Amino acid sequence: MCISRWLLLPLILVLAAGLGYAVLSLPDQAEGLQKMVAAKMEVSGVSNPVTAVLLNFRAYDTLLEMVVLLMALLGVWSLGSPPPQPEPAPDPVLDTLARLLAPVLILVAAYLLWVGADSPGGAFQAGAVLGAAGVLLLLAGWRLHHGLTGLPLRLALVAGPAAFVAIAVLTMFKTGGLLEYPQAQAGILILILETVATISIGVTLAALFLGARPEHRKKQ
């Protein structure tokens, strides 16, 4: 055990040296795809290059990443109920903090979503903030009303990927290319996609934190 650990350390150091050499041997200046993105910014519908890449030039990637997120949640849900954990004791400080912070976080998420069109921000950042709001509320003992844990929750979870697929099909009929927006409507289509994606990402992250599928009590 000890010998293998002493053998491991030099091996990792060799790997680090190799990777470091590989990084340092890269050219000092490399344009990458920056010029190409900048040249196409006018037709993208937004003015933030990262959002343009995410939601327009490589929207196909983003569609599949939304699906990966959903798959992770399906994986968690299909594993059944988690081992019983102690119920969090009611904590007035956490409770007050959650009550104060949750609306602020939702507002920040909306701002990040809106500002994503022309400065840093966008669906994934806003979704992460929304997910954090959900996690905070779950920590404070809040649970989704059980009338909403059935179909409404699932609709919120699949809304993002579904909107992506719907717009992909529509644009395929309109312009002939998958997720190739008509130039005049690109801005509004991206905003719609980002809004729905934000909600789905936020709900998915909060549901992942909760772990098991929420009980649906309609049958009882």
Partner 1 sequence: MNAAFLYALVGVGLFCIGLYALIVHAHLLRKILALNIMGSGVFLVLVALAKRTGNAIPDPVPHAMVITGIVVAVSATALALFLMLKVAAETGRAELPEERGE
Which stretches of the chain bind partner 1, using CB under 8 A? Answer: 5, 8-9, 12-13, 15-16, 19-20, 23-24, 26-34, 37-38, 49-50, 52-54, 58, 61-62, 65, 68-69, 72-73, 75-76, 79-80, 82-83, 122, 124-125, 127-128, 201, 204-205, 208-209, 211
Query: Is the four-CA dihedral 69, 208, 155, 136 of positive or negative sign?
Result: negative
Which residues make Cβ contacts (< 8 Å) with residue 172, sequence separation at least 6? 178, 180
Q: What are phi and psi of 91, to 5 degrees?
A: -125, 110
Tell the smallest beta-carbon distance from residue 107 to partner 1 (Å). 20
In the numeric block, the tokens 């200046």 are attached to 29
Tokens standing for residue 51: 């959002």
Tell the smallest beta-carbon distance from residue 85 to partner 1 (Å). 9
Tokens standing for residue 220: 């009882």
Q: Which is nearer to partner 1, 95 or 156 (CB)?
A: 156
DSSP H stretches of helix in 116-150: 123-139
Q: Which is nearer to partner 1, 128 or 168 (CB)?
A: 128
Q: Which is nearer to partner 1, 130 or 140 (CB)?
A: 130
In the numeric block, the tokens 């644009």 are attached to 171
Tell the smallest beta-carbon distance from residue 40 to partner 1 (Å). 11
